[in-house]
């Protein structure tokens, strides 16, 4: 699994404002939208294209266009919804699937409560939207589900990640996926922070992304 930290002054500037406890929800939503578009620019560097010939006002030329099947964008509910507009602004022809996951209070494992994804994802590039990669359980479960359905190129876009979460995702996927699954897995994030606290929050972090996006718990 590859991790890409986007090192850009605009990314750092917007992330700093998101971290500020005094940033209100409307500003938080707007900056999240803008930050995701910047992250998506880097995350889609490997998007699949094919040559196409077009006529310019002067002469025919060969350029590129996105191949089919089109990429699939998958926000993880609920906080991932706050990243959707920023992603589709850059990739408007993508299809959108929704995945709702929550921790089961008895087993403490991620459980899927909403699944609006194609059953067959063979040959699909998928972009998973999840603001905070903290403990890594939810994201690992989401990535495994996509690979099990045939996706062969998956990029998770996160505002922030914790080292423990990145390690946990890689460990869980190594344990649960077949060695010959052939899928490319990558995490694109604005920063990898110091650590998780005893409650599983990223430090220094920015708090609960869902609560800050929508103003309620």
Positions at the binding site for 5-phospho-alpha-D-ribose 1-diphosphate: 78, 103, 130-138, 208
Task: Output the DSSP codes for 99-118.
Answer: EEEEE-TTT-SEEEEEEES-
Q: What backbone torsions phi and psi does residue 71 show, to the nearest 5 degrees?
A: -60, 155
| C-alpha–C-alpha distance, residues 129 and 157, integer Å | 5
Name the one residue in this structure whose structure tokens are 């699944």: 115
Neighbours of 32 (CB within 10 A): 24
Looking at the DSSP bridge assignments, the partners of residue 64 are: 51
Contact of 155 with 127, CB cutoff 8 Å: yes
Contact of 212 with 28, CB cutoff 8 Å: yes
Q: Which residues fall in the annotated binding site for uracil?
A: 202, 207-209
SS3 state at 186: strand
Q: Which residues fall in the annotated binding site?
A: 78, 103, 130-138, 202, 207-209
């Amino acid at each position: 699994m590859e991790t890409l930290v986007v090192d850009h002054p605009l990314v750092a500037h917007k992330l700093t404002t998101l971290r500020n406890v005094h940033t209100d929800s409307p500003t938080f939503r707007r900056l999240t939208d803008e930050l995701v578009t910047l992250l998506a620019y880097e995350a889609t560097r490997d998007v699949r294209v094919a040559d196409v010939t077009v006529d310019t006002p002067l002469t025919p030329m060969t350029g590129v266009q996105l191949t089919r099947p089109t990429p699939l964008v998958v926000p993880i509910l609920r906080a991932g919804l706050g990243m959707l507009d920023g992603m589709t602004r850059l990739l408007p022809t993508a299809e959108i699937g929704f995945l709702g996951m929550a921790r089961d209070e008895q087993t403490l494992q991620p459980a899927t409560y909403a699944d609006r994804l194609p059953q067959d994802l063979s040959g699909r590039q998928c972009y998973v939207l999840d603001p905070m990669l903290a403990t890594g359980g939810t994201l690992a479960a989401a990535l495994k589900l996509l690979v099990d359905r045939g996706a062969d190129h998956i990029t998770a876009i996160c505002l922030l990640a914790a080292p423990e979460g990145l390690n946990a995702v890689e460990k869980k996927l190594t344990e649960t996926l077949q060695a010959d699954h052939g899928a490319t897995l990558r995490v694109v994030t604005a920063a990898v922070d110091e650590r998780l606290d005893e409650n599983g929050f990223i430090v220094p972090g920015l708090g609960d992304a869902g609560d800050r996006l929508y103003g309620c718990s």
